[in-house]
Amino acid sequence: MINSDQLLTKIQSYNKFSNPEILTKAFNFALDAHKDQKRVSGAPYIVHPIAVADILTELKLDSATIITGLLHDTIEDTHATYDVVLKEFGKEVADLVDGVTKISALEEKAVQNSRAENFRKLILATSKDIRVLLVKIADRLHNMRTLNAIRSEEKKLRIAKETMEIYAPLADRMGMNSIRDELEDLSFSVLNPQARNLIIERLKFIKNNREDNFRDIAEELISLLKENGVKATFAGREKTAFSIWRKMQNKKISLEHLTDIIGFRVIVENISECYKTLGIFHSRYAAIPFRFKDYISTPKINKYQSIHTAIIGPKKQRIEVQIRTAQMHDFAERGIASHWKYKSSEKFSDLSWKEYDWLRDLVEIIETGNSPEHYYEFTKLQMFQENVFCFTPKGAVIKLPKNATPIDFAYAVHTSIGNTAIGCKVNGQEAALQSKLRNGDTVDIIISKNVSPSMHWISSAATGKARAAIRRYWQDKSEQTISKKEKQYTSTLVIDLPDQPGMLGEISTLIGLNGCNILNVELLKRVTSHLQFSFDIQINDLKNFTNLISQIKQKNLTFRIIRHKQKKNAFIQRFFKNFKRN
């Protein structure tokens, strides 16, 4: 455990605007508040807040954030109150501490209730700046480092899974790659210790056998760049056990076939030298196909920038190389924290904050759910790009796919809501049920008891649930009236079907599913692109026939309806019969 002087020295090494007196005061305040408390491991509790502050210092964060790290458990676990922290350290620190405290309290409540609580309103109120989340991630990182002190295996698994599926993706989305890697690897050691141990043993073997090779390769690459007038620094890049395991799973290959376990980061002075370095490497060595990615011209969604390539380098070794500037490297390691520049003050610029408005929406999603399953499901990394998350007027989160409509929203809330929907309001404004929803929209569905869902909605719905529910509604209606004696109708459908296998069977099935009987099928004509068929059908329920027509329209098929074909045929037959007689 570091002392206050060591912590101050680290802070002042990058932040000349820090106030040593207030930092020392916060250190001593935390020391006094936690003096009689112990961690589960038996260590003094003060070890934890100091470790959290140290992690925040490594990220080079501002004084208010580091003070929050020191005090983040005082309101929750000690005699200290919000008013006391406000009086001693000011409103900025008090609000940050209060925000972290409330998140921690709701996490405990979620565990006790065996479900994920809805955090949305809380986060909107307390996470108006990202530092609350930065402190929370640092808090989780230290808790993961000391997770083995917990005796309950069930609790350890729960915390590890939560970390893997919530905090690691969040750190990644904020560009904090080093913290993401550590959180993932610590979680992996709990969730799959056997796999991790096997990979670590194999890495040790590979490292011992190739260490000299890598040193020689690095020297040759540095010499090559010097010859071409490029000043660069090299850093080895050893992947974590979890990242290797994930690649093995994704590519379905063994550890022996992975060639990029250790690579190089090449750090140059500017962007033009990044591309110059790439050209030098590709001119001298053969590039491995499909391994080049330019994240400088097209940054990742989390603002990460670098050039990735793989080459057959010196000694015929496969080498993975990342080329970037020092600024890009700093962002890759610290993410959003790298925006604190400390040139004129230690305040974070408002322009930089605007780049991270998405975090407010993201945290709403992460900290919201009606069940543990949804809680974990909502936090998968892919959801940030492939899904939209909308809210009910009461604040519950509804997960929908991209391009979803209020129709999908209504059925996602409850089937009965969808079946009785007649309109909606999106963010307080009237909107069409077929309009597309965006992330963060609040949707209010207007219902009426005496209505039915329209079959035309199927073409607008983006979810299978909504489509299936609409079809099921009408099928159930049909079953309810099947026992009733109703007048039967006959009609003829003339449909142009694409000249493809299975199309005739598909339409025949569709007719049957809608409660109509096929009396006769006739091929009328054949052209290059399609076949024209005539279907004589018996209709037991006109609503079913309407549904059938709607579904045929959705398939974009050309068709026409002949209402009284049989009567016309009877008239023609009588005409010819009389003609022959005469």
Report whether 306 contacts 324 (CB < 8 A): yes
83 is annotated as an active-site residue: no
Q: Is the dihedral of CA 343, 347, 349, 352 positive or negative?
A: positive
The beta-strand segments (E) located in 499-571 are: 516-526, 530-539, 558-562
Query: How far is residue 100's CA from residue 114's CA, in Å, rounded to a whole number?
Result: 21
Report whether 269 contacts 329 (CB < 8 A): no
Query: How far is residue 410's CA from residue 424's CA, in Å, rounded to a whole number?
Result: 9
CA distances from residue 312 to 27, 207, 277, 572 in whole angstroms, order as listed = 52, 19, 15, 83
Residue identified by tokens 């809330």 is 413
Candidate list 77, 88, 377, 496, residue with the active-site label: 77
Report whether 80 contacts 74 (CB < 8 A): yes
Candidate list 76, 330, 361, 536, residue with the active-site label: 76
441 is annotated as an active-site residue: no
Report whether 59 contacts 348 (CB < 8 A): no
Residue identified by tokens 């493809």 is 500
> Beta strand pairing status for 262-268 and 318-325?
parallel
Count of all residues that appear for the chain in the document = 582
Query: How far is residue 381's CA from residue 184's CA, in Å, rounded to a whole number?
Result: 13
Which residues lie below 8 Å from residue 83, measured CB to CB, with a gap of 6+?
A: none
> Quick one: three-class SS letters along 285-344?
CEECCCCCEECCCCCCCCCCCCEEEEEECHHHCEEEEEEEEHHHHHHHHHHHHHHCCCCC
Report whether 71 contacts 89 (CB < 8 A): yes
> Beta strand pairing status for 421-426 and 443-447?
antiparallel
Catalytic positions are 76-77
